[in-house]
Chain A
Amino acid sequence: MTRTARRTLAALLAFGLLAAACGDDDDTTDASPTTDGPAAGRDDDGADEGDGGSVTHRVPGDFDTIQAAVDAAAPGDLVLIEPGTYEEAVDVTTDELTIRGLDRNEVVLDGGFELENGIRVLADGVAVENMTAQNYTTNGFFWTGATGYRGSYLTAYRNGDYGVYAFDSVKGQLEHIYASGSPDAGVYIGQCYPCDTVITDVISEYNGLGYSGTNSGGNLLIVNSTWRFNRAGIVPNSGSYELCYPGRENTIVGNTVHGNSQPDTPAIDVALLAMGNGILVAGSNRNVVERNLVFDHERTGIGLVPFPEEEANDVVPPEEDWDRPCEETRDDPLPDLDPADLGFVLWDAVGNSITGNVVSGSGLADLALGSLQPDLAALRNCFAGNTFETTAPEQLEALAPCEGDPTATDWSAGALDLGALIATERPPAIDYQEAPTPEPPDQPNMPDAETAPAQPATNVPFSVDLAAIAVPERPEGT
């Protein structure tokens, strides 16, 4: 395909992005109240010495604010938060803390649409447990640059970018998460390879995207979770505006993915573009998508599609570079490219394996593979052992088997119409503050919040027995 044709098609693909550009305008203008109290000194008098020298700091018992307790804590300590509403944006810069609410549903950090992040972790090995963060202008819970992180029994509701967000972080565990009402992803992991992270037991709903990750993967497991009623369900993707491209090697197993055609959520442009798809592998590579239950989507159940990027910073790296860890590639000199070669990049979905999924009720196709390049076989994606009704192109499992030679060769019959996938009507994005996101129902608490010892994120991710995961049963009432 010529550069000309690619550019024109890129314009077509990008057109989905344009429709949203005028939508959301959330520039609230009130001054920020800061609720941080005066910095308290380390208060050992009112704190309990636990096992192994771990000190427990209680809020509000020992400190008026979570921030003050966090600032006073030393590595290994536990910050224990009583029920209440905390109008704080907490920064964590001490390694290996455990920050825990005593009641997940009643310990509420509230940003009031004024504060940026509920808890922002700029340290290693920090665990955050058993609380709710809502109404923040950016994220509910945010880790960046962390080696070792854990979020457990967290509820993130109605936050302006992401619910739970890990960037440039490795060795993580996100579990028992409920995330709703964000225009980007309920749960997002970006810029890591290998990520060495497990996402499990998540419910992500009424977001722009259930899960999204740009340039992330490598021992990144997304398992045993429910992604429903978002604009789109699970969307691993690639882009050269951040490091570690392309996205690759996510393992997506045992998830329940349904009804991701929700029209009245907040939504970034990508969510509008991806709308109506259950698992959309958008220019991400070498992913394993296996034994998921996927149903009720306006477009595709599981779709592998290209992701265009205009005015890109780089070109797609050669495949032999995809094994290089992010830690290594981040120090590469800036690509020395002729400006004429920079501009439009098409991230294709390459080398993905789609097996043993149960997919139904998709408007365009239960299983789909599309590209702007004519030789779809060259992308080396494979489909086998899935339960489905429709595919695009037709006979996809015969065209692209995971083992043995293809038993069909006509890629044109019933080919996925990318134009139809992209260029159809989308309900406009709704401001995250205004969207009718249901109040989160009460969520289960962590066991023994009052008595469990501090457990910093130095032992994560926890192991997952992938082989033991079966296709989920269809939930009652769906």
Chain B
Amino acid sequence: MSEVATRWAGQLRAALALGALVLAACSSGEAATIQALTARGADMGPQGRVPQFKVECAWSHSATDDPIVHPGMPGRSHLHDFFGSTATDAHSTPASLLGTDTTCQNRNDTAAYWAPAVLRDGEPVQPTGSVAYYRPGPGVDPTRVASYPAGLVVIAGDPTATDPQPLDVAAWHCGASPILHSDPPSCPRTAPLGARVTFPDCWDGERLDSDDHQSHMAYSDAGACPSSHPVAVPQLVFEVRYPVTGDPTGLALASGGVRSLHADFVQAWDHAALEREVRACLNGGRVCGVVSNRATG
């Protein structure tokens, strides 16, 4: 047997073993913590149902920096994985990020996206990539969605949470599965673990940031933005993918437990390009890209 064939035979055995592993995980699932949430995401389903554009961005770097929460203080934060602009550090501002190199497939996206590092037995797990979906909020009229203001800064999710967060804010899932979990599930090798943070889609129309980095934004309700935050903007759903399958025991986040999932966004797109995507795809009611759950090579 050639070396390659031997390796394939090994993988074949591993695949068989995986089947058993998946079954074992399924049968023991009821033993999970009682507070854990598992549900189908309210807006989850096949892509193509609502207008969207998406940007796939490779992992850029990891650092204990946080230009939103600890600006100008390198090393002050828990460990973050950064995506998008390759220049993001503790000193970054929306203006400084504009025009920098990016890990995103769309080179006009020089925004910064980051999330706390996933730790396995205390060791950071390097993500395999990320996807930023931009859509109208659930039920929101796509023709009324305005582009983000330049320089918008926002955090979604609660970095201090120890109880489950709403799954339509912060959740774990496997591959493209519509089933969301407050705690990482056991994922098959064809659909590895992902973390998903859904950003608010309504803006107060005035502030680019706020003291808690959240209250200038709000979530729409039943397709409408609240009067306090009247401007419908795209809903960013940011997913990070990890090379993590099988037993989730030993996973944590650099910010705390697995329930402290959150993500940060510094809007530093090329402004004209972002406006074009919002107008052409969201206002125009078109699906400008989909992510296959059959991973690309």
Contacts and interface: CB of A to CB of B under 8 A. Distances in A.
Q: Do A and B come from one complex?
A: yes
Interface of A: 4, 7-8, 10-12, 14-15, 17-21, 23-25, 27, 29-32, 34, 91, 93, 114-116, 120, 122, 137-138, 144-145, 160-161, 167-168, 183-184, 191, 208, 239-245, 266-272, 309-314, 330, 334-335, 337, 339, 342-343, 423-425, 429
B241 to A, nearest CB: 11
Contacts of A115: 107
29 contacts: A7-B23, A8-B20, A11-B15, A11-B16, A14-B190, A23-B297, A27-B103, A30-B107, A34-B108, A91-B276, A122-B280, A138-B105, A145-B287, A184-B296, A191-B48, A191-B287, A242-B47, A268-B295, A272-B297, A310-B188, A310-B190, A310-B293, A311-B177, A311-B188, A313-B44, A313-B176, A330-B49, A339-B179, A423-B12
A30 to B, nearest CB: 7
Contacts of A144: 286-288
Contacts of B12: 12, 15, 423
Given A240-B46, A339-B39, A342-B179, A269 B16 contact: no
A269 B292 CA distance: 11
Contact of A309 (B14, B20, B281, B293): B293
Q: Most B CB atoms within 10 A — which of A24, A25, A183, A310?
A: A310
B46 A245 contact: yes
B225 to A, nearest CB: 23
Please name the 9 residue pairs, one residue from A and one from B, whose CB atoms are nearest each other, closest first. Answer: A32-B107, A8-B19, A311-B177, A429-B297, A27-B58, A15-B15, A311-B191, A145-B286, A14-B190
A122 B16 contact: no
B214 interface: no
B4 interface: yes
Contact of A241 (B100, B174, B292): B292
B105 A116 contact: yes
Nearest to B189: A18
A149 to B, nearest CB: 13
A27 B105 CA distance: 7
Chain B contact residues: helix, strand, loop or mixed: loop
B286 A31 contact: no
Q: Most B CB atoms within 10 A — which of A4, A11, A14, A91?
A: A11
Interface string B201-239: 000000000000000000000000000000000000000
Interface string B1-29: 01011001001101110111011000000
Contacts of A24: 296-297
Given A15-B11, A239-B292, 7 more contacts: A17-B295, A93-B280, A122-B286, A242-B46, A269-B296, A310-B188, A343-B177
Nearest to A243: B48
Contacts of B58: 25, 27
Contacts of A334: 40, 44-45, 178
B293 A239 contact: yes
B8 A19 contact: yes
Contact of B19 (A7, A21, A241, A429): A7
B247 interface: no
B22 A311 contact: no
Interface of B: 2, 4-5, 8, 11-12, 14-16, 18-20, 22-23, 38-40, 44-49, 58, 86, 99-103, 105-108, 110, 174-179, 187-191, 270, 273, 276, 279-281, 284-297
Contacts of A18: 11, 15, 189-190
Nearest to B2: A425
Contacts of A266: 297
A138 B289 contact: yes
Contacts of A267: 297
B103 A243 contact: no
B100 A31 contact: yes
Contacts of B295: 17, 20-21, 268-269
Q: Most A CB atoms within 10 A — which of B16, B177, B276?
A: B177
B112 to A, nearest CB: 15
A291 B286 CA distance: 37
A268 B8 contact: no
B105 A29 contact: no
A75 to B, nearest CB: 15
Contacts of A17: 190, 294-295
Contacts of B105: 116, 137-138, 160
Given A29-B86, A168-B48, A311-B174, A425 B8 contact: yes
A215 to B, nearest CB: 9
Contacts of A34: 108, 270, 273
B48 A242 contact: yes
A312 B276 CA distance: 32
Contacts of B40: 334, 337, 339, 342
A245 to B, nearest CB: 7
A208 B297 CA distance: 10
Q: Most B CB atoms within 10 A — which of A144, A309, A312?
A: A144
Q: Most B CB atoms within 10 A — which of A29, A239, A269?
A: A29
B47 A241 contact: yes
A191 B286 CA distance: 13
